[in-house]
């Protein structure tokens, strides 16, 4: 068995394990939900746990789509070894559209604005009352997924055709689509963050909330991609296709998104605190000074300071093994960040439950299984991308 066959065997084995683990997680989460049927709020905890897990896992394929378009826009060599990983991640979006259905089913147990009287019937709240309607929520969500799915479909279709035919015009199509595609993607993600997360507390708002989630998604996807790249780097054709300069570029991109996450998080706090408005301050007092304060400190230290100082070091960024350790930590820490953003809407202090764990494992296992299935569909490196061929010639010339 050659190295190329070995990596496909490994991917197939991991895929089966992920599907099995995900199925078990979802079944256990449903069992826990069924056990709560006789309580005061049946199934409420299930849907809330499901929302937290879903927001986290949908962040990775959406981030993969954004980075893929960024790569086509810039044409940087940094994107060549991770392009297939990004494409495989973006092709899991149809699965995430299906996994969104339970959120629609459990809307009344997730979003307080579905209950009468939560949003006051006065002139100041006329727009909120019109905007936060279940049917309008459904229509908007369908539009978001339509935008993401069309972008992912076209980019992957043309990439596969380029592998088969070597037609250079297909590269131009992908570059042309990427420009407006990034704008449409950003608008859809911003609106989705407002609908799916910010509306959990309908009296609170932030003008940069959507942009914060854009950075969260891109950072999660970049970290996940680098971690997967490390897993593939022991096998052909990836083994000899990543040089230190590409790793340095990937590390610098990850550092940039860590800095942007910290900047936006602090800017939002500064703007809200300076405004000193009754409807805005409680959002931060609960998260930064109440029972959630230890998690806020944890994120500040490990989600910002630690990766910031590590990624400043060239030896960390130019060694895939050490860079992947930082990336793997950020994959986990991004979930903590999402949990800190979403869960305080329901509780004044952290109350992790088994249902939270089962939901994360369930959705994550199924998603990882689908990702690995998609990763096997195409060669791990673009076959006829002219930029890649030039990069190989340059490396051999060195």
Among candidates 226, 215, 231, which has minimal Cα distance to 248? 226
Token output for 389: 């061929």
* Residue 1 pLDDT greater than 60, yes or no: no
What is the per-residue DSSP string for 109-133? HH-GGGSTTSS--SGGGHHHHHHS-
Distance CA 93, CA 61 (A): 6
- Long-range pairs for 342-345 at CB < 8 Å and ≥24 separation? 342/51, 342/52, 342/55, 342/197, 342/200, 343/48, 343/52, 344/286, 344/287, 344/292, 345/200, 345/201
Checking if the pLDDT of 324 tops 70, the result is: yes
Neighbours of 126 (CB within 10 A): 11
Any residues with CB less than 8 A from the CB of 9 and at least 6 apart, and which?
A: 1
Mean pLDDT, the chain, whole residue set: 91
Please state, in angstroms and rounded to a whole number, the distance separating the CA atoms of residues 304 and 211: 18
Q: pLDDT digits over 54-104, tens only?
A: 999 999 999 999 999 999 999 888 998 999 999 999 999 999 999 999 999
- Please give the full DSSP string across 290-327, using - where no structure is assigned: STTHHHHHHHIIIIIIHHHHHHT-HHHHT-HHHHHHHH
Per-residue model confidence (pLDDT) at position 122: 66
Q: Annotate 157-187 with DSSP letters as a single string.
A: HHHHHHHHH--THHHHHHHHHHHHHHHHHHH
Residue 208 is classified by DSSP as: T
Query: What's the whole-number mean pLDDT along residues 9-19?
Result: 95
**pLDDT tens by residue, 154-177:** 999 999 999 999 888 999 999 999
Residue 336 region, left (φ>0) first, then alpha (ψ -120 to 50), else beta? alpha
The confidence band for 278, taking pLDDT boundaries of 50, 70 and 90, is confident
- The sign one gets for the Cα dihedral 304, 306, 309, 315 is negative
Looking at the predicted structure, is the pLDDT value of residue 179 above 70? yes
Tens digits of residue pLDDT in 101-140: 999 999 999 999 998 878 877 666 788 888 999 999 999 9
Contact (Cβ atoms closer than 8 angstroms) between residue 382 and residue 241: no
User: What band does 207 get if pLDDT is binned at 50, 70 and 90?
Assistant: confident
CB 208, CB 267: distance < 8 Å: yes
Which residues touch 303 (CB under 8 Å, ≥6 apart)? 258, 261, 330, 333, 334, 336, 337
Beta strands in 43-120 (DSSP E): none
The secondary structure of residue 215, as a DSSP letter, is H
* 233 and 3 Cβ atoms separated by less than 8 Å: no
DSSP conformation class of 206: -
Report which secondary-structure segment, H or E, holds 375: helix 354-375
As a whole number of angstroms, the distance between CA 340 and CA 83 comes to 31
Look up residue 381 and give its two tokens: 């490196």
**In percent, how much of the chain has pLDDT > 70?**
94
**Mean pLDDT score, 191-197:** 97
pLDDT, average across residues 242-263: 94
Task: State if pTM tops 0.85.
Answer: yes
CA angle 199, 200, 201 (to 5 degrees): 85
């Amino acid at each position: 068995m050659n190295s190329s066959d070995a990596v496909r065997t490994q991917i197939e084995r991991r895929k089966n394990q992920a599907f099995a683990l995900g199925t078990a997680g979802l079944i256990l989460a449903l069992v826990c939900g069924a056990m709560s049927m006789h309580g005061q709020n049946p199934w409420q905890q299930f849907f809330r746990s499901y929302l937290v897990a879903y927001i986290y896992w949908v962040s990775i394929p959406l981030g993969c789509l954004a980075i893929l378009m960024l790569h086509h826009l810039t044409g940087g060599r940094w994107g060549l070894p991770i392009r297939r990983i990004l494409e495989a991640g973006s092709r899991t979006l149809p699965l995430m559209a299906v996994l969104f259905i339970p959120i629609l089913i459990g809307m009344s147990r997730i979003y307080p604005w579905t209950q009468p009287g939560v949003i006051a019937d006065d002139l100041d709240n006329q727009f909120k009352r019109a905007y936060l309607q279940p049917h309008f929520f459904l229509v908007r969500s369908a539009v978001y997924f339509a935008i993401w799915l069309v972008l992912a479909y076209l980019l992957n279709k043309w990439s596969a055709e380029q592998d088969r035919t070597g037609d250079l015009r297909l590269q131009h199509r992908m570059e042309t689509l990427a420009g407006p595609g990034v704008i449409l993607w950003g608008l859809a993600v911003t609106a989705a963050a407002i609908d799916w997360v910010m509306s959990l507390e309908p009296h609170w708002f932030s003008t940069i909330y959507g942009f914060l989630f854009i950075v969260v998604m891109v950072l999660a996807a970049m970290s996940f991609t680098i971690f997967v790249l490390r897993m593939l780097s022991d096998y052909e054709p990836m083994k000899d296709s990543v040089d230190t300069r590409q790793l340095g570029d990937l590390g610098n991109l990850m550092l940039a998104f860590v800095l942007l996450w910290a900047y936006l998080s602090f800017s939002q706090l500064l703007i809200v605190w300076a405004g000193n408005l009754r409807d805005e301050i409680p959002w931060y007092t609960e998260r930064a000074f109440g029972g959630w304060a230890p998690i806020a400190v944890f994120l500040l230290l490990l989600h910002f300071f630690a990766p910031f100082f590590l990624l400043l070091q060239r030896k960390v960024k130019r060694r895939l093994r050490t860079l992947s350790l930082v990336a793997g930590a950020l994959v986990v820490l991004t979930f903590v960040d999402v949990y800190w953003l979403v869960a305080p809407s329901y509780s004044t202090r952290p109350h992790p439950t088994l249902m939270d764990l089962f939901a994360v494992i369930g959705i994550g296992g199924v998603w990882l299984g689908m990702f690995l299935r998609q990763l096997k569909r195409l060669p791990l490196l673009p076959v006829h991308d002219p930029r890649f061929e030039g990069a190989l010639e340059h490396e051999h010339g060195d």
